[in-house]
Copies of this chain bind each other. A is one copy, B any other.
Amino acid sequence: MHKARFYTLVASCPDQVGIISRVTAFIAEHRGWLLESSFHADDIDQRYFMRIEVRADSLAFGVDEFRLHFASLATELKMHWRIADSAEKKRVVVMVSQQEHCLYDLLARWQSNELNSDIVAVISNHHNFQGVVEWHGIPFHHVPVMAADKQTAFDAIGKIVDAANADTIVLARYMQILPAEFCARYPGRVINIHHSFLPSFVGAKPYHQAYTRGVKLIGATCHYVTEALDEGPIIEQDVIRIDHSDAVEDIVRYGKDIEKTVLARGLRYHLEDRVLLHGNKTVVFR
């Protein structure tokens, strides 16, 4: 995020002749200076995807007027679209249970402003990290989750998220399954890190499953949460090598390194508006 202030136009629409031309003509007409420009044509679904960064100071108007002016072209092209402003930091809620690695990693990145976002709250079903979170000046909410009454907990969580005016919810090894209703309430806004190379080893204890199957690499998957457990659109994945000498405990330890890296990469793509949904898949303009 070293760049001067810029606007990010993200859009998808049915493919046809002249899409780039019309969009970039609109921007050029207003003297917009392009930074990154990325396009993707999906041959099978005949759908077009784009992401364009425009320097804010090259345009005569601000982001609201940009949105206003662009709307009619977008409608004409039948676009799903949004325009983000790099000066408006995204607001992130982090949810965590008892493992520290993803949380510390996000705190370090937040502290150095790597993600151009604010962590506006941390929610946990445990007390372990209350101290370190609050030391960083971030509100910490302890919300216990009772198996018999998840509803109460997730009502409380929803209120915290909404009160914090959060854009994005990150499950940083949060070990509770989200109710379907909660998932549906924040579509494309809840990001999870699953500790396997999906679709292998869905569900509980994937590292134990990996150990039992005798795989030679383990992985982690950052994905959007949907009502279908571990089946949401994948944003990012990576793997790390193990071998026969690694016990489950070793696999867990190796896994932590890959989990936090994959989560951070996926989250960055999301926060920088690099991820476009396409059915149950993603277009990621890295």
Contact = CB atoms under 8 A, between A and B. Distances in A.
A112 B252 CA distance: 12
A173 B35 CA distance: 32
Contacts of A179: none
Q: Is the interface of A mostly helix, strand, loop or mixed?
A: mixed
A98 to B, nearest CB: 10
Contacts of A216: 234-237, 284
Given A234-B215, A237-B216, A284-B243, A21 B28 contact: yes
B35 A24 contact: no
> Contact size class for A?
35 or more
Contacts of A286: 243
Interface string A90-129: 0000000001110111011101101000000000000000
A247 interface: yes
A108 B100 contact: yes
Contacts of A21: 21, 24-25, 27-28
Interface stretch (A67-75, A80-88, A197-205): A197-205
A235 to B, nearest CB: 8
Given A35-B41, A100-B112, A281-B244, A199 B217 contact: no
Contacts of A180: none
Nearest to A283: B244
Contact of A34 (B20, B33, B201, B256): B20
Task: State the 8 A-B residue pairs at the shortest beta-carbon distance, nearest first.
Answer: A214-B281, A104-B108, A18-B28, A2-B249, A21-B24, A21-B28, A244-B283, A216-B237
Given A100-B111, A104-B107, A214-B282, 12 more contacts: A34-B41, A35-B43, A38-B38, A40-B245, A101-B112, A104-B104, A132-B136, A197-B197, A197-B200, A215-B237, A216-B235, A257-B261
Interface of A: 2, 17-22, 24-25, 27-28, 31-41, 43, 49, 58, 99-101, 103-105, 107-109, 111-112, 114, 131-132, 135-136, 197-201, 213-217, 219, 233-239, 241, 243-245, 247, 249-250, 253, 256-257, 261, 264, 278, 280-284, 286
10 contacts: A20-B28, A24-B24, A34-B41, A103-B108, A104-B111, A132-B132, A197-B197, A199-B215, A216-B284, A257-B264
